[in-house]
């Protein structure tokens, strides 16, 4: 199965998890690049405000065509309890080309519960239900998340068998 991992990462947490998933699956990787400057305290505040309002953003051109993949795993940080604008924009632009999807998220809640709203938003925007989801809080991101990652990858392998 041809697989693509797509993610946006402001601080590096979602990038870390996305790259681990891609390495485990032998997948191609697409890091979304926002044309807005999201650095520093002002960037942080504006990012949260735009996420809460469900606003899109402008992305740089993609290196990979999502339509060429059987499965696209999409990763987003949770900002102000919501889906981040770069991932919202990607899903809005690419929804018609996505076949099978899975969601992963990095978030501030230790148990990953704050990701549920972002996952619902991802499903709504893309029009695709995920094959499975993975939410990791700060301790899991910084410490050992191998068990949670293995369970997520196992679900993908069972629910999205190679064609």
- Structurally, the chain folds into a number of domains equal to 1
Task: Give tens-digit pLDDT for 23-60.
Answer: 999 999 999 999 988 888 888 888 888 888 888 899 99
pLDDT in tens, 81-92: 899 999 999 999
52: containing domain? 3-159
Distance of alpha carbon 42 from alpha carbon 156, whole angstroms: 38
Rounded Cα–Cα distance for residues 36 and 57 (Å): 8
Read off the CATH number of the domain in which 72 is found: 3.40.50.360
Confirm whether pTM is higher than 0.85.
yes
Q: What pLDDT, on a 0 to 100 scale, did the predictor assign at position 163?
A: 46
* Per-residue model confidence (pLDDT) at position 56: 87
Confidence bin at 142 (pLDDT 50/70/90): confident
């Amino acid at each position: 199965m041809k697989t693509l991992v797509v993610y946006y990462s402001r601080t590096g947490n979602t990038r870390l998890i996305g790259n681990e998933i891609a390495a485990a699956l032998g997948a191609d990787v697409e890091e979304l690049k926002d044309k807005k400057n999201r650095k520093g305290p002002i960037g942080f505040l504006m990012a949260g405000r735009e996420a809460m309002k469900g606003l899109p953003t402008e992305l740089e051109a993609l290196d990979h065509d999502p339509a060429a993949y059987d499965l696209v795993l999409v990763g987003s940080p949770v900002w102000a309890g919501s889906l981040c604008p770069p991932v919202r924009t990607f899903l809005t632009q690419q929804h018609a080309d996505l076949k099978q999807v899975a969601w992963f998220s990095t978030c501030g809640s230790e148990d990953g519960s704050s990701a549920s709203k972002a996952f619902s938003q991802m499903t709504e925007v893309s029009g695709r239900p995920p094959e499975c989801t993975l939410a990791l809080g700060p301790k899991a991101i910084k410490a050992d998340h191998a068990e949670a990652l293995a369970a997520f990858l196992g679900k993908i392998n069972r629910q999205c068998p190679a064609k």
